[in-house]
Structure 1
Amino acid sequence: MIELLRGFPENVVAVSCTGQVTRKDYDTVLIPALEKALKAHEKVRLLYEAGPDFDGVDAGAAWEDFKIGMEHYFRWERVAVITDVEWIKHAARLFSFAVPGAMRVYPTEEAAKARLWITQAA
């Protein structure tokens, strides 16, 4: 499940992911929020928080993630990943080279630091 987090600037899409993330989650929550931000801003930022009960994404969600990332490749300014789940930390670091903007991975105990970084001026 994906839940939008409130209280962020309009150029920041902040989400919390729990359990299994599905294509429906992307279609009804994440993609509309990203499209709204992309219409209003040249560059966008993403805060992605995955809790300890995060089980992963289904194939449909993974495909949508890839598509939206590639369609707007040069418009990603920053990506912050907050998690204590080891495989997510490793995957984020492994694929960080493919993100054109800055990307950082934070442990859950540093969530406030991640939120500050994602919102502060470049």
Structure 2
Amino acid sequence: MLEFMSHPAEHVVAIKIGGVVTASELQQAIDAIEAAKRNHPRISLLAELDDMRWMTLTALLKDIGYGLTQLGDLKRYHRAAVITDKEWIKHIAHLEDRLFKAMEIRTFPGRDYAAAMAWVGELPKGAHENPEEDGYHGA
């Protein structure tokens, strides 16, 4: 299950993931990320992951494939907040933070939900909510 959460900052794509994630659900998340990238020079991601059990094989392959396509476009990502109390998810997020230096990745325990929402909503230094003010006119 993958559902979108609201966030007051327009450059943030926020999702809650639980149970089993299917390829069609993952495609909806990818579509939301791509739409945000068309409207903002840099985007941030928020994922609440505590109840996720697994992904279908097609979802896993889609996730890996999309991730690989993004390696050359990491400068478009600002921050990723991962809300979880699961140690194994925290370890994966910390590894990704070390691997993908262009994007800052931080984990937050479930009790710090508000702090995660605030942190991920902060704009990059010198950026404005309106991408036109940054000289950005879409991809």
What TM-score bracket applies, with the shorter chain setting the length?
0.7 to 0.9
> Are positions 1:12 and 2:12 aligned together?
yes
Deviations 1:56-109 (A, max 9, x none): 223322232233333333211111100012211111112222222111011101
| 8 A Cα contact 1:84 1:107, kept in partner | yes
Paired letter, 2:6: R
Q: Secondary structure at the match of 2:81?
A: strand
Inter-CA distance 68–8: structure 2 relative to 1 (3 Å threshold) = farther
Structure 1 gap ranges (5+): none
Structure 2 gap ranges (5+): 125-139
Q: Secondary structure at the match of 2:117?
A: helix
Deviation of 1:31 (Å): 1.3
- Matched with 1:2 is 2
Inter-partner Cα distance in structure 2 for 1:46 and 1:59: 23
Deviation of 1:37 (Å): 0.1
> Are positions 1:108 and 2:102 aligned together?
no
| 8 A Cα contact 1:8 1:14, kept in partner | no
Inter-partner Cα distance in structure 1 for 2:40 and 2:98: 23
Q: Secondary structure at the match of 2:52?
A: coil
- Matched with 1:77 is 78
TM-score, with length taken from structure 1: 0.87
- Matched with 1:38 is 37
Deviation of 1:22 (Å): 1.6
Identity %: 33
Inter-CA distance 70–44: structure 2 relative to 1 (3 Å threshold) = farther
Inter-partner Cα distance in structure 2 for 1:2 and 1:121: 25
Paired letter, 1:119: G
Aligned length: 120
